[in-house]
Amino acid sequence: DGGITQSPKYLFRKEGQNVTLSCEQNLNHDAMYWYRQDPGQGLRLIYYSQIVNDFQKGDIAEGYSVSREKKESFPLTVTSAQKNPTAFYLCASRETGGGQPQHFGDGTRLSIL
């Protein structure tokens, strides 16, 4: 079945450590997205990519980095510069076309040790 796979499901970060969240899709979608979800809040866009080897900052990109070397993969690195990384991180992808919906993975929950 086609879909979006996020791993790991749970991740713990130590002080000063960078961690990388994986997002893989086999839907052949060009566009991919990373969101952060905090309790009681909606989704906030971290980074997005509309094509391989290109990506743009979203609303809260500080302390995060991404790469898009392959169409299927869009990993997110939470750097030590992100002082409050505890959140639920969601990856999504979308077909090209203004009316196409985004499809989501099942998320990674990141916590501070």
Partner 1 sequence: AQSVAQPEDQVNVAEGNPLTVKCTYSVSGNPYLFWYVQYPNRGLQFLLKYITGDNLVKGSYGFEAEFNKSQTSFHLKKPSALVSDSALYFCAVRDLDSNYQLIWGAGTKLIIKP
Q: For binding to partner 1 (CB under 8 A), which residues are involved?
A: 4, 6, 33, 40-43, 45, 48, 50, 56, 58, 88, 90, 92, 98-99, 101-107, 109
- Nearest approach in angstroms of CB 75 to partner 1 is 17
Q: Compare residues 34 and 82 and give the one whose CB is closer to partner 1.
A: 34
Percent helix, strand and coil across the chain, each rounded to 5? Answer: 0, 50, 50
Which secondary-structure segment (H or E) carries 91? Answer: strand 87-94
Name the DSSP class of 70: B
- Nearest approach in angstroms of CB 14 to partner 1 is 23
Q: How crowded is the C-beta side of 89, counted as CA atoms within 13 Å?
A: 32
Q: Compare residues 17 and 86 and give the one whose CB is closer to partner 1.
A: 86
Q: Compare residues 5 and 18 and give the one whose CB is closer to partner 1.
A: 5
- Whether the CA torsion 40, 5, 55, 103 is positive or negative: it is negative
- Nearest approach in angstroms of CB 77 to partner 1 is 20
- Nearest approach in angstroms of CB 87 to partner 1 is 13
Show the tokens assigned to 113. Answer: 């040790």
